[in-house]
């Protein structure tokens, strides 16, 4: 298992190791930056291979380590 730092959701609660789509949108603050369709943005990142997901039962979940890697990749792309 990867070393995952302790991180918190915007509301101050500890971030779960597996995030739902709604939790991921909150974590990435897509609601605050006025993304009209956060679910579509998340699916686009997943379909492009930028964000990994797992399916448990019928639910698609996003591992926290994958979200952190996604943020780091986005940061690197912006800081080129």
> Count of CB atoms within 10 A of residue 19's CB?
22
pLDDT tens digits for range 25-78: 999 999 888 889 999 999 999 999 999 999 999 999 999 999 999 999 988 887
Provide the whole-model pTM.
0.86
As a three-state string, the secondary structure of the chain is CCCCCCCECCCCCECCCEECHHHHHHHCCCCCCCCCCHHHHHHHHHHCCCCCCEEECCEEEEEHHHHHHHHHHHHHHHCC
pLDDT tier, 22 (very low <50, low <70, confident <90, very high otherwise): very high
């Amino acid at each position: 298992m990867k070393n995952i730092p302790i991180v918190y959701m915007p509301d101050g609660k500890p971030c779960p190791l597996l995030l739902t789509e709604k939790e991921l949108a909150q974590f990435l603050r897509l609601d605050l930056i006025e993304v009209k369709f956060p679910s579509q943005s998340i699916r686009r990142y997943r379909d492009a291979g930028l964000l990994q997901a797992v399916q448990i039962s019928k639910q698609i979940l996003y591992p926290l380590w994958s979200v952190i890697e996604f943020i780091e990749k986005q940061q690197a792309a912006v800081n080129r």
